[in-house]
Amino acid sequence: MLGSIRNFSTSIYAKILLGIVIIPFVFWGMGSSLSGGSKNIIVKIDKEKYTIDHFGNFIKSNANSKITSEQVDGLLTAFISEKIIEKEINYFKIKL
């Protein structure tokens, strides 16, 4: 089994296959799959995405002292609730 793989790796077909795999990376790179994407998104409500920065600002404005890991869950729930309520206020055009 290893012998057949070794023989294939030295053949012209293996070099062509390797070239087919390498050429797109040379010309187009990895694109946004490594640099962007949705890795910093905490929650997506409708089409609006909220990032770690939004949540960090929410924590800074609502937490007065050092927070524990149990409090982070509660703060995340409060953050999502606040954003959903803001969406509902805008949708129904509620004015207080």
Q: What is the pLDDT of residue 76?
A: 93
Angstrom distance (rounded) from CA 9 to CA 35: 33
Inter-residue long-range contacts of 69-76, CB under 8 Å, 24+ positions, other chains counted: 76/42
Q: The whole model's pTM is what?
A: 0.60
Cα angle 64-74-56, degrees, rounded to a multiple of 5: 55
Q: List pLDDT tens digits, range 2-37.
A: 888 888 888 999 989 988 888 887 777 766 555 555
| Pairing mode, strands 48-51 and 41-45 | antiparallel
Residue entry with tokens 């609730």: 81
Q: List pLDDT tens digits, range 34-87.
A: 555 567 888 999 989 999 999 999 999 988 888 888 889 999 999 999 999 999
Q: Each residue of 13-52: b (16+ CB within 10 Å) or e?
A: eeeeeeeeeeeeeeeeeeeeeeeeeeeeebeeeeeeebee
